[in-house]
Structure 1
Amino acid sequence: MVEFTDRESVERWLEERPQRVAIALAYRAALRVAPEHLQFRDELDELSFSENARLSVLRAILISQVAAISRRKSEYLAKAARNAAHNAYVVKATVAAYSSATTATSDVAQASELSTYFIDFAEGPLELEAYISDATFLAGQDVTMAESRVASLLNKPVYLNEQKKNDRVLLQSLYNLAIPPRSQWSFWAGWFDNAWNGTSYYPSTLLEKIASIPNEHWEGSDAPEKIAAKIEAILGAHRLAEAINALEEQLITLAKQPIYLGNSDNHDGQHPLDDTVPIQREQLALLREKIATLKEELRKFDAPDETPDPRLIDLVAHQIWDIAKKIGFYCGQKIDIGLDAAVKTAAAAGATMGVATLTVGPTTTIETVQNVAKAAAQFAKALAGG
């Protein structure tokens, strides 16, 4: 087992490992001490840390997290890390600057040196012990073992154990003060909390999109508001894509399952309630057409030289909502017909009404259709600036 006795021993060990290992250690170290560094105060005991400075800290740490999660090298992300490191240096957010600088460099030796600077910055035994604990967790018999354990490390809370609960609560209270409960900080509050506790609420692809927002949006007096709007659009696109995927899965299932009358556990000898009403087929065909339109707008959102049309997306959202209502009305008619026939069948057989049931596939789809409409409307609102 590797033993780390000082900063130099950690640095030598890191130089023989992939850069991702150094980045992971720097990310967690910066995350651990960020609450304290977000609480700079002036002589009047007033918070002197501007909102732009706070944003610079959070951005720098986010970029380090994305780089630690991802196994692929991205020049665009490295450029974003360089910008984030510069901005953090400007506002004297040293820990965040070193975190991003570890990501930005292409030199493993330099990354190792930058990562171990956190040992010097440790302001108490808790922070130093936690850094060494992380490094020890990654230590293995060969070079590849450390990188293979990075994912497991990122899913661990940044605090050490239950015995350190008081220290963790103290830092948590500082974090709560550091990120104001205002709308432009809502994403950051949730993200920080998840990162702090080693949970993965947001997928890595979504975090990478946020980390890759161009540098000009992170600068200026209105940077927090601009970034909040960009993040809301990214989240909106993600929610819409998820809603569409869920609907398409249900439509595939629905196409394979006719509507049956009788015992829901056994369709043998039963007759499907054939889809003889044209509105059902027409509305489902129209729904697929509208979904195709939304998917094209989502493609434009991810394209560097194209822009989705929020007015078109909002229009399609309303159209899909109308389709959901028409499908619901149609399914209601089917259920009425089916239940009436089921009651007669049960009576003729001398059975109780509870024996005869109706399984209607489309009714389970209506809510999913509505979810797409809601997600599309929210995405359109975010694109239009709220």
Structure 2
Amino acid sequence: MAPYTFRYRDHVDENFDGSVFLLACLRANLVSGVAGTWPTHDTREIVSAARSAASAARSALSAALSADSAALSAAPDQSQQIFATPLWPAQVPEKVSEAVETFEEAAPGTPWAFWARWYRGMFDGKPLDWELQRQVALIDDAIWKAGPKAVAQEIARIERLFELEHEIAALKATLPPRMALSSTSLIGDNGGPPLNDGVQQAVRGDFVLIWDQIEALEAEITKPEPSLGKLKKIAKALLDISVRIASYCGGKIDLALTEASKEAGKAVVKLGAPIAVASLAAQNEGIQQVAKAIWAFVKTLPPG
């Protein structure tokens, strides 16, 4: 049972490194859960990861597989339903509860922060996103062997990239299609009249620029080694656009996001009275969220 392995986190002697043992146990549990919930035709890499986990801690993996046998023998959707129920449907044993809470309290700021959140999700029947868990399960074996700190750094990169991809998708869903920008008028608040020609042209031009930056961003983050310089340039370009759009709709921008935003503040367009356009305000929030997510992702990358 995982809570009883938490006690070994800081235990080290000549023949035993508790942190390595705990990491192997947690990895085995996560991999077994992913294997039980992922479609059969997509499990080849997961099975490979499970074998690597087994070689690192055969006893830990055996315990995990035994505990999750019902899930592993069920269909993926049924397995997810199983994991969506609390581990303890009745009263949680006091020793288990204490072990989990002690682990959680000590986890922030350490290599165990992700694992505390992951276990709490499994404990409460509210697992972390299964695609995110799959990406963690597929971390290269060499990184797992490097120890908890190396794994934590890679998980941080995976999580920030995962969040960035979601913010990009959310923004794209709110933007007018690129093809429509050459001919469609931009409508004012609550379906009102189009913006005046000067502002409309400026907004349309900025939407084109946003699509340019998003496409460049998507291409960059798919590379094995994304360029820090290019990512920072894209983030600043989006902040520049966001400042201009804030001036169009009377919205607000968090100028404390980054040092780059101080320069972006110089780009405000003087258009007289602010124009209240609900759709622009919502889109501008999405632009800022993508910029924030870029900076968060950049912090997880090695300097270069």
Q: 184, 195, 203: which is aligned to 1:273? A: 195
- What displacement does 1:367 show? 1.3
**1:204: which partner in 2?**
130
The 3 A distance-change label for structure 1 pair 311 and 217 is same
Q: 161, 169, 172: which is aligned to 1:245? A: 169
The 3 A distance-change label for structure 1 pair 385 and 230 is farther
**2:148: which partner in 1?**
224
Is 1:35 the equivalent of 2:3? yes
Is 1:361 the equivalent of 2:279? yes
Is 1:97 the equivalent of 2:61? yes
The 3 A distance-change label for structure 1 pair 274 and 57 is same
Give RMSD over aligned pairs.
3.2
Q: Take 1:294 and 1:337, find their aligned partners in 2: how far apart are those partners?
A: 30
- Contact 2:247–2:274 (Cα < 8 Å) also in 1: no
Deviations 1:174-229 (A, max 9, x none): 123346423321111101100111103x3211111110001110113xx2111111
**2:253: which partner in 1?**
none
Q: 292, 296, 301: which is aligned to 1:378? A: 296
Identical-pair percentage: 26
Is 1:85 the equivalent of 2:51? no
- What displacement does 1:372 show? 0.5
How is 1:17-166 mapped onto 2 (pairs within 5 angstroms)? 33-40=1-8, 50-73=18-41, 74-89=43-58, 94=59, 96-99=60-63, 102=65, 115=66, 149-161=78-90, 164-165=91-92
The 3 A distance-change label for structure 1 pair 40 and 54 is closer
- What displacement does 1:317 show? 0.9
- Contact 1:260–1:273 (Cα < 8 Å) also in 2: yes
**1:8: which partner in 2?**
none
TM normalised by structure 2 equals 0.78
Gaps of 5+ in 2: 251-269
- What displacement does 1:148 show? 6.0
- What displacement does 1:276 show? 2.3
**1:341: which partner in 2?**
none
Amino acid at match of 1:184: P
**2:267: which partner in 1?**
none
- Contact 1:324–1:370 (Cα < 8 Å) also in 2: yes
Deviations 1:232-261 (A, max 9, x none): 111111111111111111113897783337
Q: 141, 145, 148: which is aligned to 1:215? A: 141
Q: Take 2:272 and 2:84, find their aligned partners in 1: how far apart are those partners?
A: 48
Is 1:260 the equivalent of 2:188? yes
Q: Take 1:205 and 1:42, find their aligned partners in 2: how far apart are those partners?
A: 30
**What SS does the corresponding residue of 1:336 show, helix, strand or coil?**
coil
Deviations 1:116-163 (A, max 9, x none): xx6xxxxxxxxxxxx9xx96xx8xxxx98x7763332111111132xx
The 3 A distance-change label for structure 1 pair 249 and 42 is closer
Gaps of 5+ in 1: 1-32, 103-114, 119-130, 301-305, 339-357
Deviations 1:42-72 (A, max 9, x none): 99xxxx7621221111111110110111122
- Contact 2:8–2:19 (Cα < 8 Å) also in 1: no
**What SS does the corresponding residue of 1:98 show, helix, strand or coil?**
helix
Amino acid at match of 1:174: A
Q: 132, 155, 159: which is aligned to 1:235? A: 159
Moved more, 318-327 or 251-260: 251-260
**What SS does the corresponding residue of 1:149 show, helix, strand or coil?**
helix
Q: Take 2:193 and 2:129, find their aligned partners in 1: how far apart are those partners?
A: 45
Aligned length: 273
Q: 230, 238, 248: which is aligned to 1:312? A: 230
Amino acid at match of 1:307: E
Kindly name which structure, 1 or 2, has the bigger radius of gyration based on alpha carbons: 1
Q: Take 1:41 and 1:363, find their aligned partners in 2: how far apart are those partners?
A: 47
